[in-house]
Structure 1
Amino acid sequence: MSWEQVYEQWVNSDKLDDKMKAELKDLGKDPELKKDAFYKPLEFGTAGMRGILGPGVNRMNIFTVRQATEGLARFMDTQDPETRRRGVAIAYDSRHMSPEFAMEAAKTLAKHDIPAFVFESLRPTPELSFAVRHLQAFTGIMITASHNPAEYNGYKVYGEDGGQMPPEDADALTKFVREIDDPLEIQVLSDEEVRHSGLVNIIGEEVDEAYLKEVKTVTINQALVNEMGKDLKLIYTPLHGTGKMLGERALKQAGFEQFKLVPEQAVADPEFSTVKSPNPEDPAAFEYAIKLGEQEDADLLIATDPDADRLGAAVRLPDGSYQVLTGNQIGALMVRYILEAHKQAGTLPENAVVLKSIVSSELPTAIAKNYRVGMVNVLTGFKFIAEKIKQYEQDHSHTFMFGFEESYGYLIKPFVRDKDAIQALVLLAEVAAYYKKQGQNLHDGLEEIFKEYGYYAEKTISVTFSGTEGAEKIQAIIEKLREEAPKEFAGSEVLLTEDYLKQESVDANGVTQKLLTPAADVLKYITLDETWIAVRPSGTEPKIKLYIGVKGHSPEEAKQKLADYEAELRKITE
């Protein structure tokens, strides 16, 4: 069936409500938008999907949510009855249609006689991960588009360990989803049937309390927090998202008394009206926090994204202004504090290990090495960190201390198996308290780290290729790099090329070695001057991502190297 025929099928369907019919009519006025909404089904991969809200098979709407959930239900139908009865935990964020999508998912599962445990109101992604484990559910669904703009929403599926669904199960689920030809024909229970079924259970405070009890264990030096928590001036903004309730409670129970919420951004708002993008990676998202920080003479500013799995921070500089830290810098500060605090307390295990993605900074690697702690690199995606945690619990080969990705994702304690900005909020406040006791702040702490280990700097460049030709352009760039392997970047010889799709590395002499990570469409290069470069297509958006990591003897040298490599890399996408 052509996309034009699919469009007509939707236009003539009696399943659409008046609002969606009106949206569909407006869509018909713009041939390019109409084609984009119908030329292909919204991609469902790595156990999730994300897209623009609106009618169409390539959009987020109740029908594409039903399709994803119908695929999940059919996957669960292959399990034994006891496993199916464990059900599905469902949470959602503050975005448009999030509550409706959560309930549509529950109604679709109920049609298959599968129980759902739906949060009473919006909750963070990490609490959904926790809830799957706490309730011993078979799987979980999180309705969120993370830090995307307001016109987006998304759908993520979690496995029974609380991590995003492992590859084998994710592949099986994806197959079931793609086998569904017409999402308009999927059957769900009516609201009346749901009320009498007993299959949709509303959850809330009991899970909140259980989660917050575990968050108490994130604090390493309670005596330090007890002493300094009343003096540390902290500004926190949840950027109109889910972080407020649990973040506020977590800080209070840890012992931090002087924090203030940014009032304009403490209100859940699907339009994210005070920011261009609700992304703590973007310095512009700190505009309101900086204003309040200057008024309050705050030591630290912290922002969490709408589903509270990512955390960003800004520190006060000597001149009184604030500087937004990179995800790698936050990771380095956390790694050093965690390892030092445990060393001082005599609680650093001999088999301690830190986990990070292959596109994250090598500064935490240098820090971990100094403490004789292992560093393990995994593919991009927190599910790979979760898989390693599970492995270590089973084989007892290592004790997990910390996991992070450069994209502002951190995990301190493995009672959650995804990025957890609530945990990170509490720990980073403790790190700030540690430096405040010494008459310093996080800026001073970072300078100490750079002086000891070298001036590391990193940058991520995202280039978007929109429309139907975007994916082809991205693939062409990757294929060209694979076929014509670069010998140098910015005048520095490439010593090692790692192709994670071929699962092999090749050095400058042509010697090949096997990579032990799963296959992934990523290319990484290590150069003579200790620079590393990585190129990969985004798994959730029409983007190609270029990563650069450099090391210099001074901040000026690191900055210049970064600029030189960026100029050369941008030519790749022209």
Structure 2
Amino acid sequence: MSWQQVYEQWLNEENLPENLKAELKDLNEDPEKCEDAFYAPLEFGTAGMRGILGAGINRMNIFTVRQATEGLARFMDAQGIEVKRRGVAIAYDSRHMSPEFAMEAAKTLAQHNIQAYVFESLRPTPELSFAVRHLNAFSGIMITASHNPAAYNGYKVYGEDGGQMPPADADALTKYVRAVENPLKVEVLSENEAQMSDLITIIGEEVDAEYLKELQTVTINQALIDEMGKELKLVYTPLHGTGKMLGEKALQQAGFEKFVIVPEQAVADPNFTTVKSPNPEEHSAFEYAIRLGEKEGADLLIATDPDADRLGAAVRLPDGTYQVLTGNQLGAIMIQYILKAHQQAGTLPENAVVLKSIVSSELATEIAKKYDTKMVNVLTGFKFIAEKIQQYEVDQSQSFMFGFEESYGYLVKPFVRDKDAIQALVLLAEVAAYYKKEGKTLYDGLQDIFEEYGYFEEKTISVTLSGIEGSEKIKALMAKFREEAPKAFAEVPVTQTEDFKALIRVTTADGHSEALKTPPADVLKYYLEDGSWIAIRPSGTEPKIKFYIATRAASQEEADQKIKEFEEAINTLTA
């Protein structure tokens, strides 16, 4: 059907909620917006399905949630009765329609006689990941749009290992979802049937208690916290999201006493009233935390995004102001501390491994080398880190120590199989306590790392290209870079190119090629003569194309200059 026919189908649907009916009428006045809402269904990317709230197959609403869940239910039907008994854990964040979407998912599953475990109130994404394994569920659903603006919501699907579904399973699930031709006709339990059903179980405090019990294992040096936990001054903001309840308990449980939570941002608010975007990557998200930090004389400011899977931090500089660190810098600081602390305690395994994405800093690799720890690179998407953890759990070949992505996602202990900002909150506080005991700040600690390993600098450029036209532009840009491969960036020659879609690595000098061993992904990576690298990939969940720049230099000034020149070269190539 054409998008116009799909629009008419929705317009004529008798059971459409009044808010969606009103929106459909408004869309009729704006053909461009109407087409964008109906031209194609939302797709699963590296982090599931995510989109703007509203009417249409390209929007997040109860019908697209039902369609996705109907696909999951049919996928589970095909697995047999035991899988259906194990059921699905469901959690949700503080966004508009999140509780409603969670219950719509549960009602859809129950229609198929599949058990659903629904959290009583909002919970962080990492707790959902934990709950899947804790409950021995077959799958999990998290209703969240992570760090996106207030107009968005989303739907993540988790496998039985607690990780987001890897490509093979996600592809199989997607086929079932797409086989649901009309989301308007998906059958679900009525509200009355849902209240009476034994197939929908409400969960909460008992899972919280088990998660918090596991969280105690994140602490490496309890004696250090016992000594410095009364001294470290910490400001924490959950940015109106799910992090407060477990984050506050986690810090108290670990032994940190002098932390304060930004009061204006402690309340769950789907409009994220105090921030332009609830994204801890952005400096503006720290405005209130910085204000409170200056008042309290805080050593460290920490922010978690609305579903508490990403964490950002700002460190106090010598002049008393605060600097927001990059995800790569935070990853390096945590890896350095973890490996050093375990080495000193005699608890660093011989087969220790750290995992990171292919677009994350090589500073982490240099640190791992010093501690004789293996570094494994995986594709972007924490599901690939979770896959490796599961593999190591089965074959016992490596001992997982840490996993991270440059986009502010970290995992310390594998009782969760996704990014976990609550774990990172506790660990980073411990790292700050370590440096405070030495009379240093985290900023000083980062400078020590740079002086030892070199000045690594990275920058991500995200270009937003919305709608149908934007989607085509992103495809055209990726095609252009493949067909007209750059020979240099800022006059620095390209020595090697990796195409993760074609699964090939080519050396520029002699044309020698070899196969890449990762799953296919729409990513290009260029290695340059000076040791820098540049990568390009479309976002899996947002209408963006991303350019990653990474370099290494003998000084901060030289690194900054290189980043500036590479950024200008990219702007020229994409103009």
Comparing 156-165 with 75-84, which one deviates more in the overlay?
75-84
Listed as ranges, the matches of 1:75-474 within 5 Å are 75-474=75-474
> Displacement of 1:424 after TM fit?
0.1
> Displacement of 1:17 after TM fit?
1.7
Q: Which amino acid aligns with 2:502?
A: K
How far apart in 1 are the matches of 2:258 and 2:209? Answer: 23
How far apart in 2 are the matches of 1:554 and 1:47? Answer: 36
Contact kept in structure 1, 2:88 and 2:140, CA below 8 Å: yes
Q: Which residue pairs with 2:543 in the alignment?
A: 542
How far apart in 2 are the matches of 1:527 and 1:47? Answer: 30
Contact kept in structure 2, 1:45 and 1:174, CA below 8 Å: no
Comparing 377-386 with 489-498, which one deviates more in the overlay?
489-498
Q: Which residue pairs with 1:28 in the alignment?
A: 28
How far apart in 1 are the matches of 2:484 and 2:211? Answer: 50
How far apart in 2 are the matches of 1:10 and 1:386? Answer: 39
How far apart in 1 are the matches of 2:516 and 2:22? Answer: 52
> Displacement of 1:515 after TM fit?
1.1
How far apart in 1 are the matches of 2:494 and 2:37? Answer: 42
> Displacement of 1:167 after TM fit?
2.0
3-state SS of paired residue (1:213): helix
> Displacement of 1:40 after TM fit?
1.4
Distance 1:282 1:47, change over 3 A: closer
Deviations 1:239-258 (A, max 9, x none): 00000000000000000000
> Displacement of 1:44 after TM fit?
3.1
Contact kept in structure 1, 2:46 and 2:541, CA below 8 Å: no
Contact kept in structure 2, 1:46 and 1:165, CA below 8 Å: no
Contact kept in structure 2, 1:477 and 1:572, CA below 8 Å: no
3-state SS of paired residue (1:468): helix
Q: Which residue pairs with 1:490 in the alignment?
A: 490
Contact kept in structure 1, 2:46 and 2:380, CA below 8 Å: no
Q: Which residue pairs with 1:562 in the alignment?
A: 563
Deviations 1:55-91 (A, max 9, x none): 1111100000000000000000001211210000000
Gaps of 5+ in 2: none
Comparing 549-558 with 42-51, which one deviates more in the overlay?
42-51
Contact kept in structure 2, 1:94 and 1:242, CA below 8 Å: yes
How far apart in 2 are the matches of 1:165 and 1:398? Answer: 22
Contact kept in structure 2, 1:46 and 1:170, CA below 8 Å: no
How far apart in 2 are the matches of 1:47 and 1:560? Answer: 34
Contact kept in structure 2, 1:41 and 1:57, CA below 8 Å: yes
How far apart in 1 are the matches of 2:421 and 2:206? Answer: 20
> Displacement of 1:166 after TM fit?
2.2
How far apart in 2 are the matches of 1:319 and 1:522? Answer: 41
Contact kept in structure 2, 1:432 and 1:441, CA below 8 Å: yes
Contact kept in structure 2, 1:51 and 1:153, CA below 8 Å: yes
3-state SS of paired residue (2:400): strand
TM-score calculated relative to the size of structure 2:
0.99
Q: Which amino acid aligns with 1:386?
A: A
Q: RMSD over aligned Cα, in angstroms?
A: 0.9
Contact kept in structure 2, 1:71 and 1:173, CA below 8 Å: yes
Q: Which amino acid aligns with 1:148?
A: N
Deviations 1:488-530 (A, max 9, x none): 1111111111111111111122111111111111000111111
> Displacement of 1:466 after TM fit?
1.2
Contact kept in structure 2, 1:89 and 1:117, CA below 8 Å: yes
> Displacement of 1:47 after TM fit?
7.1
Q: Does 1:524 align with 2:525?
A: yes
Q: Which amino acid aligns with 2:361?
A: S
Listed as ranges, the matches of 1:29-68 within 5 Å are 29-45=29-45, 48-68=48-68
How far apart in 2 are the matches of 1:461 and 1:19? Answer: 37
Q: Which residue pairs with 1:7 in the alignment?
A: 7
> Displacement of 1:572 after TM fit?
2.8
How far apart in 2 are the matches of 1:451 and 1:27? Answer: 57
3-state SS of paired residue (1:547): strand
How far apart in 2 are the matches of 1:446 and 1:46? Answer: 30
TM-score calculated relative to the size of structure 1:
0.99
> Displacement of 1:45 after TM fit?
4.1
> Displacement of 1:46 after TM fit?
5.1
How far apart in 2 are the matches of 1:178 and 1:32? Answer: 24
How far apart in 1 are the matches of 2:398 and 2:42? Answer: 39
Gaps of 5+ in 1: none
How far apart in 2 are the matches of 1:45 and 1:2? Answer: 24
- Give the number of equivalent residue pairs: 574
3-state SS of paired residue (2:276): coil
Contact kept in structure 2, 1:463 and 1:573, CA below 8 Å: no
3-state SS of paired residue (2:225): helix
Q: Which amino acid aligns with 2:416?
A: V
Q: Quick one: percent identity of the two aligned structures?
A: 74
> Displacement of 1:197 after TM fit?
2.1
Deviations 1:514-557 (A, max 9, x none): 11111111000111111010001111111110000011111000
> Displacement of 1:208 after TM fit?
0.2
Contact kept in structure 1, 2:47 and 2:541, CA below 8 Å: no
Q: Does 1:553 align with 2:554?
A: yes
3-state SS of paired residue (1:469): helix
How far apart in 1 are the matches of 2:40 and 2:385? Answer: 32
Contact kept in structure 1, 2:95 and 2:153, CA below 8 Å: yes
3-state SS of paired residue (1:280): coil
Deviations 1:275-297 (A, max 9, x none): 00000000000000000000000
Q: Which amino acid aligns with 1:191?
A: E
How far apart in 2 are the matches of 1:514 and 1:328? Answer: 28
Q: Which amino acid aligns with 2:240?
A: H
